[in-house]
Amino acid sequence: MSQSLPDVLTAIAERRSIGRFKNEPVERDVIIQLLQAAGWAPSHHNTQPWRFVVMTGEGRNKLGEGYADVALSEASGLSEEEVQEKRKKEIAKAFRAPVVIAAICSPADDPRAVAAEERAAAQAAVQNLLLAAHGLGLGAIWRSGAPMFHEAMKAAFELRSDEEIVAFIYLGHPDMKPLKAERADILEKTIWLD
């Protein structure tokens, strides 16, 4: 995209998923800025249906234990040694970045709230957070996958029955160069009705 674009359009075009991070902490006030950016996402009826769990240091064990509980609930016939090795491997996944933020869709107690709209708003908050991280020179990646939806992970984060995790955002100071991204021509995916 052209360098003459407004900053927000440039950030949208240049942001990339970063999956490798330096072993350096991210200052709490920077994380707060990211959360504040997330909180400006649009939501139907201004329900603001999101909440976040920020994990740093040993706090990342909450996610690690969730990964381990999911993996072990789906494994059978393992020896005690294999169980311990699998638990250790799964817990390590939560320590791939100095900060991991669980983004949770927490639907409002509003009769006008529609579940799909609440989820979309929480996901928009994640995009805001990713763009803010990029703008502050941090790297981030939106991780998801089957463990995020598993009952054992929901239990690890003590979610209400109507809540769901919409993202695990791994972030920190990048330890890789962003990969070149390619996108299809958006006009090939657009219909104009005049």
- Residues tagged in the binding site annotation for FMN: 15-17, 44, 142-144
| Residue 118 to residue 124: CA distance in whole angstroms | 10
Which of 128, 116, 106 is CA-nearest to residue 42? 128
Structure tokens at 60: 């990342």
User: What separation in angstroms does the CA of 156 have from each of 101, 141, 149?
Assistant: 14, 21, 12
Cα distances from 23 to residues 17, 57, 64, 98, 112, in angstroms, run 18, 11, 18, 6, 44
Six token digits for residue 186: 């958006």
Report CA 15 to chain centroid distance, whole Å.
Answer: 15
